[in-house]
């Protein structure tokens, strides 16, 4: 399996993130906060949100 970044992989990951944002109140609050921050702080929060989303996905995978 290749780790190459493709348009399809970006689209897939973005879709997963948007579904999670839509369904998780904590992620919605984080997004509201993100939009109010200066760019430097947005980058940090984006990394934290990505880590949270990865943790949620890992937990769901483990449960299945």
Per-residue confidence at 2, pLDDT binned at 50, 70, 90?
low
Instruction: Report the alpha-carbon distance of residue 15 to residue 27 in Å, rounded.
Output: 14
Domain count, the chain: 1
Whether residue 9 has pLDDT greater than 70: yes
The model carries a pTM of 0.47
Q: What is the dihedral of CA 44, 46, 61, 3, to 10 degrees?
A: -90
Whether residue 30 has pLDDT greater than 80: no
pLDDT, average across residues 12-34: 80
Instruction: Report the alpha-carbon distance of residue 39 to residue 41 in Å, rounded.
Output: 5
Q: Which domain holds residue 29?
A: 2-62
């Amino acid at each position: 399996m290749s780790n190459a970044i493709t348009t399809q992989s970006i689209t897939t990951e973005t879709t997963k993130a948007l579904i999670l944002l839509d369904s998780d109140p904590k992620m919605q609050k984080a997004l509201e906060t993100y939009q109010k921050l200066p760019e430097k702080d947005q980058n940090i929060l984006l990394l934290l949100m990505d880590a949270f989303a990865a943790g949620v996905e890992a937990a769901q995978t483990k449960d299945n």
